[in-house]
Amino acid sequence: MKSFIQTLRNIWRIKELRERIILTLLMIAAFRFGSYVVLPGVNPEALERYTAQAQEGLLGLFNLFVGGAFSRASIFALGIMPYISASIIIQLLGVALPYFQRLQREGESGRNKINQITRVLTVAITMVQSVGYLVNLRAQVPEALLPVVNPGAMSHFLFMVTNVLLLTSGTIFVMWLGEKITERGVGNGISLMITIGILAALPTSLAAEFEMKLGQAGGGLFLFLLEMVFLFLVTLGVVALVQATRRIPVQYARRVVGNRVYGGVRQFLPIKVNAAGVMPIIFAQALMFIPATIATFMPDSASGLVAVFSDYTSFWYNLVFAILIIIFTYFYTAVTINPQQIADDLKRNGGFIPGVKPGRATVEFIDNVVSRITLPGSIFLALVAIMPTFAMMIGVSPAFAQFFGGTSLLIMVGVMLDTLQQIESYLIMRHYDGLIKGGRVKGRYAMGGVI
């Protein structure tokens, strides 16, 4: 306890870190406040039935990501998800179209241009999703709309236009908050916004699960404690997945005479088992939200494939979700790790992998290692992602089951480790002890400004 208090004092003594933490907390407070500001023309007291609907199925998962703003019909109801969807599209276009590939190679100016295109696409996606959200709200709970909205087509038109603009502005504001946190705060802002939304639902879900287990048919306190132990073990597995690293030995020459190397420094090249972090699961989840978006436009006629893929407990939903995660893991690992660049850096610094020739052979060796370790990492990532479905099969409530692995737990663990790693880097740079003894906090690298 004494060491923890001393660490907090050390954090507070660093002016730059203190200012960054305060700014981050203020941005988070603004985000949480906005999630309770209800859209004009909506009666918040009549939203109980809509709240119950928005806590089930895929809409419940979407509502979890935005911190309950979806079910409250707030100005932040769509959260940051349209921005993530836009980022997916732009990064996929970077693989398919030469124009975006050229922008990626142009350095800072190219990244700025890509960010501008992503923001414009975010506005377009948000406006489309806003219309679907309002249509679904009007169809599901017409009593939630205030009387001034109901009479006349003009009143309905003004209601739609006003709230589409507000929902779009809300998403853009959340995106701006996330970018400011990344630039001037602590951690990756976009990821932190999602994490805060997920954490906001944890106390309520935990209390509801505890109350349910103590009920007559709940199983009692022992079953609740058993669930907590299982949750703890799953969390440890996720932490191990995020931090797992394959170390490749590298020899750095001190003196070279002819073809012989004398002396040298032996180090290790760390290659993460899950180099893509939680980006694959976030992007795969964003794609799986598409059926739910389509269903909002057709609330009374959603059937067939749309209905199947709107139920995150169905077999086909989980199968497609797992396959998408594996594909995105390989995709983002290829984006994150460039074997050619690593081989060039080793050669430039006088380093080589023992038993492997420099040049093309080193590139192929690193590429083979990355491919082999990515496969088990992607499969384990997919299994953790669909773990909530298995948790519900053994009696865990749907709301609390989202924390048994899945997107929620992976995002929380990954983002927390990254944020702690940033704080620890400030402490070590100022010659203070780190956050933990006996080692350093291991995080993961953020990609695409999202995670």
Q: Which of 134, 157, 144, 136 is nearest to 301 (CA)?
A: 136
Number of neighbours of residue 257 by Cβ within 10 angstroms: 7
248's enclosing H/E stretch is strand 245-252
Asked if residues 27 and 437 have their Cβ atoms less than 8 Å apart, the reply is no
> Could you state, in order of their start, the residue ranges of all structural domains in the chain?
2-429
Side chain identity at residue 94, one-letter code: G
Asked if residues 47 and 87 have their Cβ atoms less than 8 Å apart, the reply is no
**Residue 450 and residue 447: Cα distance in Å, rounded?**
6
Domain 2-429 adopts which CATH fold?
A: Preprotein translocase SecY subunit (1.10.3370)
Instruction: Give the distance from CA 69 to its chain's centroid.
Output: 17
Predicted TM-score (pTM) of this structure: 0.73
Q: What pLDDT does residue 217 have?
A: 65
pLDDT per position in the chain (451 positions), as tens?
666 677 777 777 778 888 888 998 999 899 889 888 888 888 777 776 666 555 555 566 677 777 777 778 888 888 888 888 888 788 778 777 888 878 877 777 888 888 889 899 999 999 988 888 888 777 777 777 765 555 555 567 788 888 899 999 999 999 899 888 888 888 788 888 888 888 887 888 888 888 888 876 666 788 888 888 888 888 887 777 777 777 788 877 655 555 555 555 667 778 888 777 777 877 787 777 776 666 655 555 455 666 666 666 778 888 888 888 888 888 888 877 888 888 888 887 777 888 888 888 888 888 888 888 888 888 888 888 888 888 887 777 777 777 776 667 777 777 787 788 778 777 777 665 555 555 555 654 433 344 4
User: How many alpha carbons fall within 13 Å on the CB side of residue 40?
Assistant: 12
**Residue 242 and residue 26: Cα distance in Å, rounded?**
28
DSSP states along 49-107: HHHHHTTSHHHHHHHHHTTTTTTTTBTTTTTTHHHHHHHHHHHHHHHH-HHHHHHHHTT
**Residue 221 and residue 204: Cα distance in Å, rounded?**
18
Number of neighbours of residue 412 by Cβ within 10 angstroms: 21
